[in-house]
Amino acid sequence: MLGITGLDPMSISTDEQHRETLRLLKEVHDYLYRLPAVPITREFCSKLAKHLDDPANRLLQQTQTERTGAYYTPAGTVLVKARLQDNQLQLDFPDLSPDDVQRLFTRHIAIELE
């Protein structure tokens, strides 16, 4: 199994935490809005929408964070390059054959993301 480290809660920025909170609020808003129309629920949805539409919050939701790292052999050759952009992880195997990549996935490796 591929283990990727670097997501220590202490290393996650306040902006990243805020962005995740805004995503959750958006999910809550969408869920509540799908419920049968009740005045108090619609009023709460309006408050949530107003908060989510605040210019500072919209800008924060649109920015993406990027973290990168690599896994090296003892000789210093890069086996895996990792890039986490927002919530998408991309792995690149610069000089490995498909068989080598498959063998690599049977090992536990850790990649520190910065």
Q: Where are the domains of the chain?
A: 9-62
* Higher-scoring residue by pLDDT: 107, 60: 107
Q: Give 13-65 pLDDT, tens digit per residue.
A: 677 788 888 888 989 999 999 999 999 999 999 999 998 888 777 766 666 66
Would you say residue 103 has pLDDT above 70? yes
- State the SS3 of 10-52: HHCCHHHHHHHHHHHHHHHHHHHHHCCCCHHHHHHHHHHHHHH
At residue 63, the pLDDT reads 64
pTM for this model (two decimals): 0.45
At residue 1, the pLDDT reads 32
